[in-house]
Structure 1
Amino acid sequence: MTLNHRKSAFITLGSFLKQFSTTEITKNNSVPYNDLFFDRFTSAIEQAGLYNGWFSRENILFACESWSDALSEENLSKWLNNYDFSAIVPKKVAIIMAGNIPLVGFHDFLSVLISGHEVIVKQSSNDTKLLPILAEYLQVVSACFEQKINFSSEKLPEFDAVIATGSDNTARYFEYYFGQKPHIIRRNRNSVAVLTGTETKEELEALGEDIFRYYGLGCRNVSKLFVPEGYDFDAFFKAIYSYHPIVNEDKYANNYDYNKAVYLMSLIPLLENGFLMLKEDTQYASPIATLFYESYNNLEELKERLMADSDKIQCIVGKNHFANQVSFGHTQKPQLWDYADGVDTLLFLTNLR
């Protein structure tokens, strides 16, 4: 199976996913194998939401829409043209997936298969409904994938390399169990936004997308703001007000109420607007419905600090201040070449021998 065949299969998968967008679910009769998969995947979306209350219909469809955009011929070619696949020796690569947001492990799944390896998927129990159907779709589109995709719910079978994503705690176990194998092990990371006070209303509103998409559960979600000394948060609160319906979501509201009660009983000063709390804190990881913030006096000193803490940070949001920073509203729209933790997954996979 050539690289072009593999790429073509994922492009077809992208056309299948394009039917599932945040605006509507619309069947396109020209999409191959729709009679076999359209209704099943539509049902899986509903099942995923019922099984995991954090997987709202809108967020699942947002993930599907994002992947349909990513799996275009243009994007795949731009991504893959940077690598040499000619010397690939097919290996069995195990992927241990997180389950914090819908299809969070899809990039690893794509990377292993597109590079010509066999994948063994161990899903999080929080996210089991969607990927198996997409994997089956790929196997129907190209029979060459039939022996390349395996799912494991028990102990992993024999494998040659592993990509594992988890918390700082689970990463220690991953290091213990998988340290002797070629591996990528990912730990906790958070994203931050650096504000200067010159942001437009549109930019601050877009920042709300970086904060609230997936309820803030992703490592690419902004969990902390850095603001200049004396920053006035009024413009920020006004700009993000359109996101206030999120407090009507039960799981988010429960977290908001609980964390607010804890802060108030502890006499911790807060800024809040009825659906988001701002707490001054030096940490990067904030609870759901809470955004930490910290003031700075010197932007250059802040740059040095964030560089020193780069192993804790996934994305830096802002404008024209930091290398590789993400523009407002785009943290949850990574390109195929925007690798988690800055580790080049395809380079790792093409170098397996």
Structure 2
Amino acid sequence: MNTESFSRRQFLQCSGQALASGLLASPLLTAAPASATQAPRGETLVQQLYGSLKEDQKKLLCFGWEDPRRLKVDNNWHITPQKLRDVLSGDQQDLVRQIFDSLHSEAYKKEVWRQFDQDNKSDGGFASSSMALFGQPGSGQFEFVLTGRHCTRRCDGDSEAGTAFGGPIFYGHAANGFYEKPDHAGNAYWFQAKRANEVFQALDGKQRQMALLGEGREETGNKTVRLTGRTTGLDGIPMTELSADQQGLVRQVIGDLLAPFRPEDSQEAMKYIEAAGFDHLHMAFYKNQDVGNDGIWDVWQLEGPNMIWYFRGDPHVHCWAHIKS
């Protein structure tokens, strides 16, 4: 048995069970206080990075809080024309690496780095990504954004009030070429779709008719994760049509979706989902985008009035997420 895979399954099982039972204050999902033996929080590192910037660097990388780029999301883009290697020193690039690293869970960050390095290898790796800072770190209103292929991540110290992850995020992976095979071998995030398909397998015939639709939404930047505020009329089957056991599976899937991210962000996201009403969530699968026509649905989503998590595994994995209070 592969030890690394077994450890990851153990982590996902524990995270799903914790979320399913509402134990958001458990050790798994609660950020530990900083200590001399722990790495600094991302927000502390952002402040260090900002303090290291020279004036000419700030002109290229630092912008006002109201700049529209601050909350932009896309699957493959550069928030500034300058790549890290073009504008930052080696030490500053290392700080950016530490910030990105701090945004992910200890259990899964190795997989996150494997994905990032693999997807950006042809362009020079991590140094080919780009970053921007909005507002001023330490002022109570700032946001760090890192972008590249299959990456939009944020670090804001909760400056963007009532918003998980500081705003919409994107992650993905093309593990073995642009067009992945049905099993998505080596994909860092395919485990999330496999778990979601367990929910579909648990549905009866009538429930499957409600959950299985034709094609998923188009990928159009921020429009992909636009929140409707609606509690009815969303794609797929509402949670009110599921049994308690089936709802438990959905909660575990949400735990799987949150697994790659640091505990405090996962905890905040789940708090907002539950506060808006778990019963208002809808889950949909899309049959017209089934890679290999194997009945394992590559494209699916969870949507509620205040959240969307859209998983598109055709032709490779793209994931769009947006959660507000």
Do both share a fold (TM > 0.5)?
A: no
**Short-chain TM bin:** under 0.3
Provide the TM-score with structure 2 as the length reference.
0.27
Q: TM-score, normalised by structure 1?
A: 0.25
- Relative contact order higher in (CA < 8 Å, ≥ 6 apart): 2
